[in-house]
Structure 1
């Protein structure tokens, strides 16, 4: 058996995804296009006398399960104090703004941490990255609980609660960002998108559970204790995660992790010979994916945060607003579970076409909220929320996988996409709250201008999806390598390990 590694196989150099020519003559557009075609062809067509063997291991499911548990629990922390904010004010003697900052600190810390995750993975591997995050999750649990001691002053208690949230903010982006990298490392072409889907929806599921559980498990101190217990139970699951399989499942999984700096260099046409190359068109494609993913994912997240503020002025109760948020999430989860295997096995080479169909539907749904948020339109709002959930959650794994395809940099592309999601979310929250009508408006404090802003931005950015080509180069190369293996090793095929 020959392993797929550059050091052991000098014949790999001329077709390696990281070593092809990367410059296109900007003076002649037709020459540039021909060069782009040659660049893509050279990635897919190559002949070697030595063919690596690829394998799948059953332990990949244990790691996936562990990452789901850690993603769910870390996702609970962000919205945990939202439903009990008024109780926190009464119990700890803090202001409502200070309670809100227990959630805001996670959004602020998320941005730099998300950008650092690819470098940690590149230097220390998936497992060590998860170890650091699990340790932070565990520390956050009991630092936060230490703030519930009755003998502490309100300032001291709030300081410990804030510090606990800070440590939790160090953990959450790690488990969320590394999803596509883990699926690339452990899964083959028939399971990669499904694995990415499972890992990408685990965090929002945790957020929904956090909003549901925090007010029903007891008073505020008991609620913080329960969150600490769940974090403590979840942290040891990190021992089920392995860094990488002994033999990779695909050619792309055999390559060294490039990291975020590599992707940024290539995006600005300053790539090194060791960086995965990108053509001009692929850089345009990733820019489109970055903007569309960031805007649409942040619109969904912000709607979950501001659902009550949007719907209550129109006459809907807080319970109804919560149910609509639940419908959005649940419809999306069910659809994503049903469709992800189809993208792995049926529509495996049609991710770009899928985005061109789903994104306009999703954008139109957001735009329709401008007129749908009105009294006595419960059925219409439920239908729109379901449609938003179906399209947006389905787009999560599709966008993440498509970004990996055009960049050949799973951890770097995932980091930038989630950075965009949370960065735009902060802008959306501040902008929409600034656009809220005053108490003298009709109805008072309505969010109609915020909905117009949301719809206009979403429609404007989503229009760029029609310029996306989205050639799945990574998949083409993996398929070519597997076909070569099946020809060279017909008797053995693809084996399955423990």
Structure 2
């Protein structure tokens, strides 16, 4: 919720704290920036201390972010002093957020079998966009900016203790993949570069190409969504409430689509993740491209429709993308760290480019972001066309199914009743 919280109220924040719009944008941008090294450290923390300890670190960071951010709302502070505390609060939020995103495919692999793994990843993947949707809905509706930041602090404090319910893992691994020693992030980087690695970490040239395609598409689509959340009020030119509702429409429609499709990916399209992505991704790309013409005054109906299309196509692809990464790399936490690293790296670039491409105060309308919409729509459309080059052979699933058949066969042999004498 902290990441896009200031997007719909950016103009109000700038006026109330006496800072610029670019400074407000950095309250979201810092989350993406600090996300980068944090994401790469999470596989190391999980391998050394376990999933449960990693979650607890995130809970502590969440509480610190809440109250340092609120300390920045004191009216006795200068604009620079208040802004510094807001930035420090967002710094700790940017430690908490990646923990629960990056570990999601590793958590589902550790706890769930073949009939529930994609659904589990989907639930965890959409939890972050759900928070983003709530953040964009709530932040403009909670009074002035200072009251808004207090509400965020209270909610963060209430949910943080739930991390102590997370356990290390089940007593018996649910699949063959869950029973294997986790591969390191270093081994994934080495094999992507064509260097010598242990047999379990080896990837064919086709798998490396597939992983590169997924990283690019995942990264650019995440960047488009995140930068839109951060810049929503500036891009759309509508009121804070309307900008918040449009951003929430994107995320909430996607959440509904993810809930509906998750069981289908586990039980119907379980072997066709790559094929389904070739259907969803082009629709998302076209949606971002059409915003070039759709963002104009008195066009809310069309904008809500486009937001819904983007959401329906985007959110289910979060889990599908992460699961496909696990399939082609057999490295759940390492591949997740890389795709989320890419998404946040591109987000930083998109927000900075958005600020640079913002029109001047003499433009019509003033400070419009038409040029940025052209940049975003074109680059997303071009990158997403590479989805048609994806093969996405699901080797991890094939190995799990083979080991399951062997286990069932051995169990059947053991259950044979010998004749009595």
After TM superposition, is the score higher than 0.5? Answer: yes
SS of the residue corresponding to residue 365 of structure 1 reads: helix
Q: Does 1:112 align with 2:37?
A: yes
Q: Name which of 435, 453, 456 aligns with 2:378.
A: 456
Q: Does 1:304 align with 2:229?
A: yes
Q: Does 1:199 align with 2:124?
A: yes
Aligned ranges 1:65-464 → 2 under 5 Å = 76-85=1-10, 88=13, 92=17, 94=19, 96-149=21-74, 155-273=80-198, 275-312=200-237, 317-464=239-386
Q: Distance in 1 between matches of 2:393 and 2:217?
A: 17
C-alpha spacing 1:159/1:297, structure 2 compared with 1 (3 Å): closer
Moved more, 274-283 or 141-150: 141-150
Q: Distance in 2 between matches of 1:241 and 1:368?
A: 42
| Per-residue CA distance 1:276-331 (angstroms, 9 max, x = gap) | 2211110010000000111122112222333333332xxx5554433332222121
SS of the residue corresponding to residue 233 of structure 1 reads: helix
Could you say which structure has the higher helix fraction? 2
Which entry has the higher C-alpha Rg, 1 or 2? 1
Gaps of 5+ in 2: 416-421
1:24 corresponds to? none
Give the Å deviation of 1:95: 5.0
Q: Distance in 1 between matches of 2:80 and 2:54?
A: 33
Q: Given the two structures, how large is their TM-score scaled by the length of structure 1? A: 0.77
Q: Distance in 2 between matches of 1:146 and 1:310?
A: 30
C-alpha spacing 1:233/1:440, structure 2 compared with 1 (3 Å): closer
Moved more, 317-326 or 481-490: 317-326
Give the Å deviation of 1:356: 1.3
Q: Is the contact made by 1:405 and 1:473 (CA closer than 8 Å) also made in structure 2?
A: yes
Q: Is the contact made by 2:264 and 2:270 (CA closer than 8 Å) also made in structure 1?
A: yes
Aligned ranges 1:31-50 → 2 under 5 Å = none
**How many residues in Structure 1 have an aligned counterpart in Structure 2?**
415
Give the Å deviation of 1:347: 0.6
SS of the residue corresponding to residue 214 of structure 1 reads: helix
Moved more, 101-110 or 258-267: 101-110
Give the Å deviation of 1:156: 4.3
Q: Distance in 1 between matches of 2:42 and 2:179?
A: 20
SS of the residue corresponding to residue 77 of structure 1 reads: coil
Moved more, 427-436 or 391-400: 427-436
Gaps of 5+ in 1: 1-75, 494-498
Q: Given the two structures, how large is their TM-score scaled by the length of structure 2? A: 0.90
Instruction: Report the aligned-residue RMSD.
Output: 2.5
C-alpha spacing 1:341/1:189, structure 2 compared with 1 (3 Å): same
Q: Is the contact made by 2:10 and 2:233 (CA closer than 8 Å) also made in structure 1?
A: no
